[in-house]
């Protein structure tokens, strides 16, 4: 809860002994009196003095009085050499005065704040150490006069004052200054650092809402705790403006604390959260617009409401952490419990139940915030470790998958090699069937129809044709090492051989070749296309009983078209075609070429058609 009560009642650390108590107090005051005057008074009033005790809050004596109260502290100073002032002199230690003031010794000004009228110097939390010059002290009665400028809504008055040994009071002042100012600066630095750090984390990871609420809580508390060290009400024009803003920041802090505890407990309470922020908005508007005369009541109500919310949040979280919390939540619960106890003490002091003006919330708040920040950091590191473990598992899985993929690819490669070898064997079988086989069939046919015997040298010619067919097969097998060549050169030798066979069987065969000089095909594609032509014409010779055949090869419009037609007996194209393996070989070669292939057959007319798209021809 931080400075809930520090902001509400200006928490004061007891740094010097009360008058008459302890070793620092050398002289007891014979009279402590107070009298009030207006803002512009430069001298203490002559009348209206009343006896008071320190510490004093004049709001109880003079309700709703805003202005100046003079405190007159008298004591008897022994003569020098009789226990009075020696060469070291005396000093005065003022624990605090609220809000701003000046100190006089026997009518001489010793110390004064910069502004004694609005906007008042915010000196309420500043311990004052003043050396009392020996020339101003005299034997007998001495008077320390303290002018205090304050506002009734903010507990104006004067704290404990001690007169005594300068060294002892300097030590007490150093301790008081450390508690009230130095430690508060450290607290502000820690709070601002934590708030900005977790704000940056939340901006990078908006889903971690606990980081965002911790940042809001820290930054709101920073503004509240700034009340401890601020010396002016800037950027506001008056003390009232500063206190209104400080009280609103306290509202935001309490609500952010509750939201952080809820999110840190991994819970969501939508209805309660909406009610909480609605109350914050209402309280902020009330504090902003309440008349100055009622600001004290408004702040008391606001502080009490915040205390209720704070204690309820702490109580619920402590019960949750004890029963079902994780280790980190229980560690935070310990600091919350310490802060809970400090807040309870401060609330009782604020309400006057305890006669104590030492407030512990401002000091224990840092313990709570640091423990919360450490546990948030611990959760962050734990999450990072989970991510790292996940990445390690993922890397192991990837390595395993890579190994399995490598094995699969190796097996696939082996299968592809086996399939390639098988395809090569099938293609070789087709080539042997369509090439050497066709030549052998033609040679056999020549021998059958020879009358009475083959002409001289014909047997040698047939062997050369078989050699040429074998050379075509070998060249095509190594065509991946060769460039493209004109298809006209590839088809010429085949045409010559086939024409001689058709002439021997008295079958008229006409050839139409157009645009082939510009048509370039790889050796493998040229061989496939020649084998289709060769197989189709071999089927005409073997099965068609035709008297006429026509072959048309054209290269135009980016495509190569083949049409072979005869006037034979035909066959049923829906049934297994004549030639069996030869017909399957033609279809397989056409598919390998990516060509459209079709056969139409009827008695007296059979037509084979093929269309091969060509790439750009260089």
3-state secondary structure (DSSP) of residue 147: strand
CA of 255: how far to CAs of 220, 291, 439, in Å? Answer: 10, 25, 101
**Close Cβ partners of 273 (under 8 Å, ≥ 6 residues apart):** 259, 262
CA of 567: how far to CAs of 506, 544, 548, 601, 608, in Å? Answer: 14, 8, 6, 10, 12
- The confidence score (pLDDT) of residue 576 equals 47
172 confidence band (pLDDT: 50, 70, 90): very high
Q: Which of 60-74, 216-230, 382-396, 427-441 has the lowest mean pLDDT?
A: 427-441
What pLDDT, in 10s, does the model give residues 491-539? 777 787 778 778 878 889 999 888 877 787 777 788 788 888 888 888 8
- The confidence score (pLDDT) of residue 161 equals 95
- The confidence score (pLDDT) of residue 12 equals 34
Q: Which of 217-226, 263-272, 276-285, 447-456 has the lowest mean pLDDT?
A: 447-456
- The confidence score (pLDDT) of residue 77 equals 87
208 neighbors 376 (Cβ within 8 angstroms): no
Nearest Cα residue to 123 out of 269, 260, 265, 239:
239
- The confidence score (pLDDT) of residue 131 equals 95
99 neighbors 239 (Cβ within 8 angstroms): yes
pLDDT exceeds cutoff 80 at 269: yes
**What token pair was written down for 411?**
């097996």
Q: Tell me the pairing of strands 508-514 and 548-556.
A: parallel
| Residue bearing the bigger pLDDT, 502 or 166 | 166
pLDDT exceeds cutoff 90 at 47: yes
pLDDT exceeds cutoff 60 at 303: yes
166 confidence band (pLDDT: 50, 70, 90): very high
- The confidence score (pLDDT) of residue 385 equals 80
CA of 566: how far to CAs of 504, 539, 606, in Å? Answer: 17, 11, 5
- Measured at the CA of 123, the angle between CA 119 and CA 127, to 5 degrees, comes to 170
Average pLDDT over residues 156-179: 93
pLDDT exceeds cutoff 90 at 30: yes
559 neighbors 614 (Cβ within 8 angstroms): yes
Nearest Cα residue to 144 out of 68, 14, 58, 44:
44
pLDDT exceeds cutoff 70 at 277: yes
3-state secondary structure (DSSP) of residue 83: coil
Q: Which of 330-339, 468-477, 539-548 has the lowest mean pLDDT?
A: 468-477
- The confidence score (pLDDT) of residue 575 equals 54
Residue recorded with tokens 């390595």: 399
pLDDT exceeds cutoff 70 at 479: no
pLDDT exceeds cutoff 50 at 3: no
3-state secondary structure (DSSP) of residue 462: helix
| Residue bearing the bigger pLDDT, 132 or 518 | 132
28 neighbors 78 (Cβ within 8 angstroms): no
Average pLDDT over residues 35-52: 94
| Residue bearing the bigger pLDDT, 21 or 470 | 470
Q: Which of 244-248, 335-339, 536-540, 603-607 has the lowest mean pLDDT?
A: 335-339
Q: Give me the domains of the chain, ranges plus CATH numbers.
A: 4-178 (2.60.120.260), 187-389 (1.20.1070), 421-613 (3.30.565.10)
Residue recorded with tokens 């920041």: 249
- The confidence score (pLDDT) of residue 294 equals 87
244 confidence band (pLDDT: 50, 70, 90): very high
- The confidence score (pLDDT) of residue 430 equals 65
pLDDT exceeds cutoff 90 at 285: yes
Rounded to the nearest 10 degrees, the angle between the axes of helix 487-504 and helix 458-477 is: 150
Q: Which of 324-333, 364-373, 467-476 has the lowest mean pLDDT?
A: 467-476
Cα 613 to Cα 618: distance, rounded to the nearest angstrom: 15
- The confidence score (pLDDT) of residue 87 equals 44
Task: State the chain's mean pLDDT as an integer.
Answer: 82
Global pTM? 0.60
- The confidence score (pLDDT) of residue 15 equals 32
Nearest Cα residue to 143 out of 161, 166, 159:
161
* Burial (CB count <10 Å: 0-12, 13-18, 19+), residue 366: buried
pLDDT exceeds cutoff 70 at 489: no
What pLDDT, in 10s, does the model give residues 175-211? 999 988 888 888 888 889 888 988 998 998 888 898 8
Nearest Cα residue to 301 out of 279, 316, 274:
279
216 neighbors 254 (Cβ within 8 angstroms): no
What pLDDT, in 10s, does the model give residues 539-597? 888 888 889 999 999 888 788 899 999 998 888 765 544 456 778 888 888 888 889 99
**What token pair was written down for 486?**
């004109």
- The confidence score (pLDDT) of residue 295 equals 87
Radius of gyration of the chain (CA): 55
Cα 491 to Cα 487: distance, rounded to the nearest angstrom: 6
């Amino acid at each position: 809860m931080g400075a809930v009560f520090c902001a509400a009642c200006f928490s004061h650390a007891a740094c010097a002994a009360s008058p008459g108590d302890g070793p620092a107090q050398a002289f007891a005051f014979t009279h402590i009196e107070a009298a009030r005057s207006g803002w512009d008074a430069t001298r203490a009033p002559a009348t209206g003095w009343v006896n008071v005790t320190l510490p004093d809050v004049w709001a109880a004596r003079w309700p709703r009085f805003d202005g100046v109260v003079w405190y007159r502290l008298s004591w008897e100073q022994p003569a020098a050499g009789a226990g009075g002032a020696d060469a070291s002199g005396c000093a005065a230690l003022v624990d605090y005065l609220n809000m701003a003031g000046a100190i006089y010794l026997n009518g001489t000004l010793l110390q004064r704040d910069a502004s004694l009228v609005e906007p008042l110097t915010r000196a309420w939390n500043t311990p004052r150490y003043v050396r009392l010059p020996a020339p101003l002290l005299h034997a007998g009665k001495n008077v320390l006069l303290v002018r205090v400028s304050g506002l009734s809504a903010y507990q104006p008055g004067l704290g404990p004052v001690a007169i005594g040994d300068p060294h002892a009071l300097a030590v007490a002042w150093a301790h008081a200054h450390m508690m009230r100012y130095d430690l508060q600066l450290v607290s502000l630095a820690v709070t601002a650092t934590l708030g900005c750090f977790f704000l940056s984390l939340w901006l990078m990871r908006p889903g971690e809402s606990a980081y965002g609420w911790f940042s809001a809580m820290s930054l709101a508390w920073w503004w509240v705790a700034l009340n401890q060290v601020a010396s002016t009400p800037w950027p506001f024009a008056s003390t009232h403006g500063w206190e209104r803003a400080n009280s609103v920041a306290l509202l935001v802090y309490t609500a952010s604390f509750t939201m952080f505890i809820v999110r840190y407990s991994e819970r969501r309470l939508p209805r309660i959260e909406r009610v909480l922020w609605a109350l914050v908005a209402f309280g902020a508007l009330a504090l902003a617009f309440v008349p100055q005369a009622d600001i004290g009541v408004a702040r008391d109500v606001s502080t009490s409401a915040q205390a209720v919310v704070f204690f309820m949040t702490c109580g619920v979280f402590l019960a949750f952490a004890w029963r079902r919390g994780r280790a980190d939540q229980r560690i935070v619960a310990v600091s919350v419990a310490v802060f809970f106890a400090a807040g309870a003490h401060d609330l009782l002091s604020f309400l006057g139940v305890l006669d104590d003006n030492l407030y512990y919330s401002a000091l224990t708040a840092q313990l709570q915030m640091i423990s919360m920040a450490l546990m948030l950091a611990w959760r962050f590191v734990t999450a990072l470790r989970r991510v790292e473990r996940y990445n390690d598992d993922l890397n192991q899985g990837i390595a395993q998958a890579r190994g399995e993929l490598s094995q699969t690819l190796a097996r696939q490669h082996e299968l592809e090699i086996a399939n390639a070898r098988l395809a090569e064997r099938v293609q070789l079988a087709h080539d042997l069937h369509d090439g050497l086989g066709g030549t052998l069939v033609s040679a056999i046919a020549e021998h059958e129809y020879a009358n009475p015997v083959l002409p001289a040298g014909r047997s040698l010619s047939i062997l050369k044709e078989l050699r040429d067919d074998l050379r075509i097969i070998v060249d095509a097998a190594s065509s991946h090492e060769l460039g493209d060549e004109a298809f006209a050169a590839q088809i010429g030798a085949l045409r010559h051989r086939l024409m001689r066979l058709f002439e021997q069987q008295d079958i008229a065969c006409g050839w139409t070749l157009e645009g082939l000089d510009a048509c370039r095909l790889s050796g493998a594609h040229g061989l496939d296309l020649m084998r289709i032509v060769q197989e189709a014409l071999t089927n005409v010779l073997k099965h068609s009983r035709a008297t006429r055949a026509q072959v048309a090869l054209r290269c135009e419009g980016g495509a190569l078209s083949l049409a072979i037609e005869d006037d034979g007996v035909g066959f049923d194209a829906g049934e297994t075609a004549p030639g069996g393996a030869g017909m399957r070989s033609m279809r397989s070669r056409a598919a390998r070429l990516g060509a459209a292939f079709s056969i139409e057959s009827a008695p007296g007319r059979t037509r084979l058609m093929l269309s091969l798209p060509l790439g750009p021809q260089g």
